[in-house]
Amino acid sequence: MQKRSAHSAIPENASHSDATTDAVEGVEKLRSILLQPEREEIKQLQEQINALSFRLSDAKTRAAETSEILVEATKLTHKQDDGYSPALKPIVVEQFQVSSRENPEIMAEALFPILGPAIRKMIASMLSLDKNKTKRTYKFEQLFLIEKESGIPICHAKSDSVQTQDADMVSGMLSAIQSFVQDAFSTDEFDGLNTLQLGELSVWIEWGPSAVVAAVIRGVAPEQCRTALQQLLEDIHRDYRAQLDTYEGDASPFNTVETDFLLFMENHDSRFINRVRNMPQKVRNMGLAAAIFTITLFAWIIYNQYDKQRWNNFVTELDAQPGIVVTHNERKDGGYLVRGLKDPMATSPEQILRDTNLNVNKVVFELEPYQALHTNFIIKRLQSVLIPPDGVSLELQGSELIITGAKSKSWKVDAKRLARQFTEVSYVTFQP
Taking the least distance from each CB to other proteins, the nearer of 146 and 324 is 146
Smallest distance from the beta carbon of 187 to other proteins, in angstroms? 11
Does the footprint of other proteins cover residue 206 (CB under 8 A)?
Answer: no
Please give the Cα distance from 96 to 103 (Å, whole number): 10
* Residue closest to 233 by CA, chosen among 249, 220, 244: 244
Taking the least distance from each CB to other proteins, the nearer of 49 and 173 is 173
Of positions 130, 166, 245, 350, contacts other proteins by CB under 8 A: 166
Please give the Cα distance from 279 to 64 (Å, whole number): 74
Does the footprint of other proteins cover residue 177 (CB under 8 A)?
Answer: yes
Q: Which helix (H) or strand (E) holds 27?
A: helix 2-57
From the list 125-133, 168-176, 339-347, 369-377, the region that binds other proteins by CB under 8 A is 168-176
Does the footprint of other proteins cover residue 250 (CB under 8 A)?
Answer: yes
From the list 15-23, 68-76, 175-183, 213-221, the region that binds other proteins by CB under 8 A is 175-183
Smallest distance from the beta carbon of 73 to other proteins, in angstroms? 43
Taking the least distance from each CB to other proteins, the nearer of 150 and 347 is 150
Does the footprint of other proteins cover residue 180 (CB under 8 A)?
Answer: yes
Taking the least distance from each CB to other proteins, the nearer of 72 and 183 is 183
Please give the Cα distance from 80 to 87 (Å, whole number): 14
What are the DSSP calls for 306-371, one per residue?
HHHHHHHHHHHHHHTSTTEEEEEEEEETTEEEEEEEE-TTSPPHHHHHHTSSS-GGGEEEEEEE--
Does the footprint of other proteins cover residue 196 (CB under 8 A)?
Answer: no
Taking the least distance from each CB to other proteins, the nearer of 147 and 234 is 147
Fill in the DSSP letter of residue 161: T
Please give the Cα distance from 210 to 190 (Å, whole number): 12
Of positions 77, 134, 137, 182, contacts other proteins by CB under 8 A: 182
Does the footprint of other proteins cover residue 185 (CB under 8 A)?
Answer: no
Smallest distance from the beta carbon of 186 to other proteins, in angstroms? 11
Does the footprint of other proteins cover residue 105 (CB under 8 A)?
Answer: no
Of positions 176, 220, 295, 387, contacts other proteins by CB under 8 A: 176
Does the footprint of other proteins cover residue 179 (CB under 8 A)?
Answer: yes
User: How do strand 427-431 and strand 400-404 relate by DSSP bridges?
Assistant: parallel
From the list 19-27, 83-91, 214-222, 242-250, the region that binds other proteins by CB under 8 A is 242-250
Q: Which residues pair with 206 in a beta bridge?
A: 213
Does the footprint of other proteins cover residue 186 (CB under 8 A)?
Answer: no
Q: Which residues pair with 329 in a beta bridge?
A: 338
Which residues within the stretch 121-150 sit at the binding site for other proteins (CB under 8 A)? 147-150
From the list 165-173, 297-305, 396-404, 423-431, the region that binds other proteins by CB under 8 A is 165-173
Taking the least distance from each CB to other proteins, the nearer of 180 and 293 is 180
Give me the count of residues in the chain: 432
Taking the least distance from each CB to other proteins, the nearer of 212 and 236 is 212
User: By rule CB under 8 A, what count of residues binds other proteins?
Assistant: 23
From the list 20-28, 106-114, 163-171, 267-275, the region that binds other proteins by CB under 8 A is 163-171
User: How do strand 363-369 and strand 335-342 relate by DSSP bridges?
Assistant: parallel
Does the footprint of other proteins cover residue 173 (CB under 8 A)?
Answer: yes
**419: CB partners within 8 A, 6+ apart:** 382, 386, 401, 425, 428
Fill in the DSSP letter of residue 191: G
Return the C-alpha torsion angle 126, 131, 137, 143, nearest 10. Answer: 40
231, HSE (Cβ side, Cα atoms, 13 Å): 13
User: How do strand 400-404 and strand 153-158 relate by DSSP bridges?
Assistant: unpaired
Smallest distance from the beta carbon of 180 to other proteins, in angstroms? 5
Please give the Cα distance from 30 to 50 (Å, whole number): 30
Please give the Cα distance from 112 to 104 (Å, whole number): 12
- Give the residues lining the site for other proteins (CB under 8 A): 147-152, 165-166, 168-170, 172-173, 176-177, 179-180, 182-183, 248-251
